[in-house]
Amino acid sequence: MATPFTPDRLLAILRAEGLNVIEYRSWRTHDRAGHGGWGPINGVMIHHTASSGTDNSVSLCYEGYAALPGPLCHGVIAKNGDVYLVSAGRANHAGTGDDDVLAAVVAEHKLPATNENNTDGNVHFYGFECVNLGNGADPWPEAQLLAIEKAGAAICRAYGWSAASVIGHKEWTNTKVDPRGFSMTTMRERIDRRLAAKPGTPPATPTYEPFPGVEFFKSYPSSPIVTAMGKRLVAVDCSAYHSGPGAQFTAADLSSYAKWQRKQGYTGKDADGWPGRKSWDALKVPKVK
């Protein structure tokens, strides 16, 4: 459990992580006080705005709308990586979600599947809305992904948490799909690497296995590269394994990789399970030592 930051503290930790933070209007006192609790704080939640344009999105998140008054988050992350602070208190961003998910976040354990909406998340989470249409086609610039990474790391660092305390809205409730367009598993990996470095300094650049070519896989090899690939497929929720990935390339690997290809938007023969360079590079299989 953790006490909410003061506005000055929230601003300071975000800037210490190297973020360009913009104070928007009366963000320090703009909140939903009197409409529920605020704290103890247990985590950070990432959303997409389902809107376009920085000015429009920031205004929407500050004001809200008739059915849901603002603020709708604590910070809005623009496509260029700027962070607009719109609240330092309770905000209407998380809604109700699964108490088992909250318990997992508190314990920093693997997240369970959501099947209930019985807990007020606005009490327990800082929320960041990221400017994106959320249609699966609107791009996520690296500057924006880096800002999400830094914002999550800043709050986790200040509270002494790991990246397991950062979740997506869709991981909190089965009624939401955000953020759509990038992997929260990969984002948590990025945040953990950043937490291993000093504030404001870039984390060590990870190294990945280069694409070994489709013929490598069509020979059904037994290789630590296959094991590393299988572990990544499990991490990005594309497992078709019955007993876990192993060194031998099998039909289960083929089925799992086909799930990954479909997740990347491939269809038909382009999602047949045989790895291609673009989908392989996107999977980011850690370098085998």
Query: CATH code at 175?
Result: 3.40.80.10
The number of folded domains in the chain is 2
The answer to whether residues 52 and 85 belong to one domain is yes
3-state SS, residue 220 = coil
Query: Is residue 245 one of the residues assigned to a domain?
Result: yes
The answer to whether residues 233 and 101 belong to one domain is no
What does the pLDDT average to over 237-248? 91
The answer to whether residues 182 and 233 belong to one domain is no
- Residue 143: what pLDDT? 94
3-state SS, residue 250 = coil
The answer to whether residues 188 and 235 belong to one domain is no
Q: What is the value of pTM for the model shown? A: 0.78
Query: Is residue 44 one of the residues assigned to a domain?
Result: yes
Q: Is residue 200 over pLDDT 80?
A: no
Distance CA 205, CA 188 (A): 15
Lowest average pLDDT, out of 91-95, 157-161, 208-212, goes to 208-212
Distance CA 27, CA 19 (A): 17
244 pLDDT band, cuts 50/70/90, is confident
What does the pLDDT average to over 155-182? 96
The answer to whether residues 48 and 80 belong to one domain is yes
Q: Is residue 1 over pLDDT 80?
A: no
Q: Is residue 136 over pLDDT 90?
A: no
Instruction: Give me the chain's average pLDDT, please.
Output: 95
Query: Is residue 2 one of the residues assigned to a domain?
Result: no
153 pLDDT band, cuts 50/70/90, is very high
Contacts of 287 (CB under 8 A, 6+ apart): 206, 207, 208, 209
Query: Containing domain of residue 220, as a range?
Result: 214-283
Query: Is residue 54 one of the residues assigned to a domain?
Result: yes
Contact 127, 91 (CB under 8 A): yes
**Which pair of tokens denotes residue 130?**
């990221």
The answer to whether residues 167 and 230 belong to one domain is no
Q: Above pLDDT 90, what percent of the chain?
A: 90
The answer to whether residues 184 and 236 belong to one domain is no
The answer to whether residues 248 and 164 belong to one domain is no
201 pLDDT band, cuts 50/70/90, is confident
Distance CA 38, CA 126 (A): 10
The answer to whether residues 77 and 153 belong to one domain is yes
**Which pair of tokens denotes residue 126?**
């800082």
What does the pLDDT average to over 5-33? 97
